[in-house]
Amino acid sequence: MKFYNRKNELFRLDELFTDGKDRAHLFVLSGRRRVGKTSLIKHFTEDRDDFVYLFVSKKKSHLLLAEFSEILAERIPILKSVSINSFDSLFTVLFKEMSKTPLYIMIDEFQNFQQVDGSVFSVLQNLWDTYQDSAKGAIICVGSVQTLMRDIFEGEKEPLFNRASIKMSLKPLSVDTIAQILTDNGVDVAKNLLFYHTLFGGVPKYYAILDRSRLFHLTHKAVISRLFCEQDALLQQEGRDLLIEEFGKNYHLYFSILQTVAGGVTQMAQIADKTGINVNSISRYLDELVSEYGVLERRSPVTATTKDHKGGRYHIADHFLKFWFRYIHKNQTLVEIGATERLADKIDEDLTNFQGWVFEEMVREILINRNNEKIVPFLFDRISGFWDKSGKVEIDIVAADDDKKNIFFGECKLNGNQFTLADIAKLKEKGRYVHWGKESRTEYFALFSNSTLTRKTRELLDNNGVAGIDVRQLFPPPRECTHTFEPEQVIRDTELTETSSNPHISDDSTDLGRELGRTE
């Protein structure tokens, strides 16, 4: 599969390599496994003769030292004629060479040195402190176990504390980029984007697997069966493999919490009750999953003034892990006995329910990435959902502009044609519970649908001040729109009507202008 996007990251690498002609950098690149860290660096350094790639495999120290010496000798000939008996002597030769000419050395899975030879961190500290003013180029430390990488470079008692000159955390690809990958592989984006986003989010390695294994054109159920359900399926143990090293001996506690959250239980007290973990202890584990491991996100209503809002809810940040804990880890017994069909059927029966949840996440990401007044008709500075303390009032998406007092309420439905006049009235009524700028705000309402909106539905929405947005038509990026998105002033109530005399509404599902409710 070809290399996609990463424009910002490539720009930063270009800055690094340009600046490296005159000075040295200790560059730290982290991110979850499979997100494309190695591919990013290798893509940028393709055909460069000043770049060397080293991988820290978990083997005996002397074997790894010999391997590194042999690789570096191709670029530093003196290594062929000197005796190298320690990482200290090897890296000393390397830094001396970097004092003569710029070199860029990538050390992949850098955190593995902790198991191979922990003294390497002190060696690098001493050499960096000695040569950083005279050396040129960069030592690029790449790691996938993010807790260890953070400890190595941010732990106050660690040798490499405060030594990194540049840090980058690589995130998954955007929804727009995933849509492009599907398009390039001949996949109908409208019919398949939500499915693949539900399984894999924006992790490029999984799409490369689909491409290499020729799975893109199988049915959705067949893709799930091949990659997750069959005996020794490629991704069956992926969630465990991703997290077991991060979590260590307490992994079973964290796994129980993540399975519970993936099942839709998102509040602290409910998570404690469902997992059987004491409510006084659960907060510590949740905090660790949020702050230390980055696997959970704690979200607050859009109107919350602090992140410690008592109504916070927990969500798994990674789409793949959300899917894996909801279906594979939860049904481990079926995995163990090889009940492939039963497991695939069980997933297939529930997937639509799960996708409704993921669809909200996908829409929110799209809005954040396209905060340009073309979907939400103003530039917002906050976006989240809204829920009250009772949990009886919930709005999928609320975006607001604090300066100009604009507020946007969005409802997400897999099938927007099931949205009725009563639902419109309910959405507008729920908006009144959002106590933000109520005296002078301008309100906007929208329905996001993952299915083509019929003429009747669009007519209903248009006549009641709600923009109908078929999310599938946002890929590739939308054309200019042809309809004004009319705001509603909070000081007046809009009459809800079921019919319209507008003769220009048609059944043409490609009329994106009407869906977005904007003016060309």
CA–chain centroid gap for 371, Å, is: 18
- β-strand partners of 55: 108
* Better-predicted residue by pLDDT, 321 or 487: 321
> Residue 427: which H helix or E strand, with range?
helix 421-431
Domains of the chain by residue range? 7-169, 173-358, 370-516
Quick one: tokens of 266? 């998102």
Determine the pLDDT at residue 508. 35
Residue 302 class from Cβ within 10 Å (0-12 exposed, 13-18 middle, 19+ buried)?
A: buried
What amino acid occupies position 371? N
The residue count of the chain comes to: 520
Least confident range from 133-137, 308-312, 442-446, 500-504: namely 500-504
Between 3.30.70.270, 3.20.20.80, 3.40.50.300, 3.50.50.60, what CATH number should domain 7-169 receive?
3.40.50.300
In whole angstroms, what is the distance from residue 487 CA to residue 494 CA? 11
Say what the pLDDT of residue 181 is.
95
| pLDDT reported for residue 507 | 34
> Is residue 360 classed as helix, strand or coil in its secondary structure?
helix
Tell me the two tokens of residue 375: 């979907």
Residue 450 CB neighbours (<10 A):
21
- Confidence bin at 476 (pLDDT 50/70/90): low
Number of neighbouring beta carbons within 10 Å of residue 352: 10
Q: Do 512 and 471 meet the contact criterion of CB atoms below 8 Å apart?
A: no
- Angle between helix axes 238-247 and 251-262 (nearest 10 degrees) is 130
Dihedral class, residue 454 (left if φ above 0, else alpha if ψ from -120 to 50, else beta): beta
- 173-358 maps to which CATH number? 1.10.10
Exposed / middle / buried, residue 286 (Cβ in 10 Å: 0-12, 13-18, 19+): buried
Kindly report, residue by residue over 66-86, the tens digit of the pLDDT: 999 999 999 999 999 888 999
CA distance 149 to 472: 38
Q: To the nearest 5 percent, what fractions of the chain are helix, strand and coil?
A: 45, 15, 40
What's the confidence (pLDDT) of residue 439? 84
pLDDT at 517: 37
User: Greater confidence, 179 or 481?
Assistant: 179
The Cα–Cα gap between 491 and 441 comes to: 9
- What own/partner pairs with CB < 8 Å and gap ≥ 24 does 287-292 have? 288/254, 289/254, 289/257, 289/258, 289/314, 290/314, 292/147
Q: How confident is the model at residue 307 (pLDDT cuts 50, 70, 90)?
A: low
**Can you tell me the distance from the alpha carbon of 459 to that of 27, in angstroms, rounded to the nearest whole number?**
55
Report the chain's C-alpha Rg in angstroms: 26
Fold match, 7-169 / 173-358: no
At 372, list the tokens: 């340009």
Structure tokens at 453: 């909106």
Ramachandran bin of 82, using left for φ above 0, alpha for ψ from -120 to 50, beta for the remaining angles: beta
pLDDT per residue over 482-492, tens digit each? 334 445 444 33
φ, ψ of residue 223 in degrees (nearest 5): -60, -45
pLDDT top residue among 515 and 434: 434
140 contacts 89 by C-beta, under 8 angstroms: no
Give the strand pairing for 394-401 and 382-387. Answer: antiparallel
Supply angle C-alpha 223, 225, 231, rounded to 5. 135
**Between 516 and 326, where is the model more confident?**
326
Q: How far is CA 175 from CA 235, 354, 369, 411, 462, in A?
A: 21, 18, 9, 19, 28
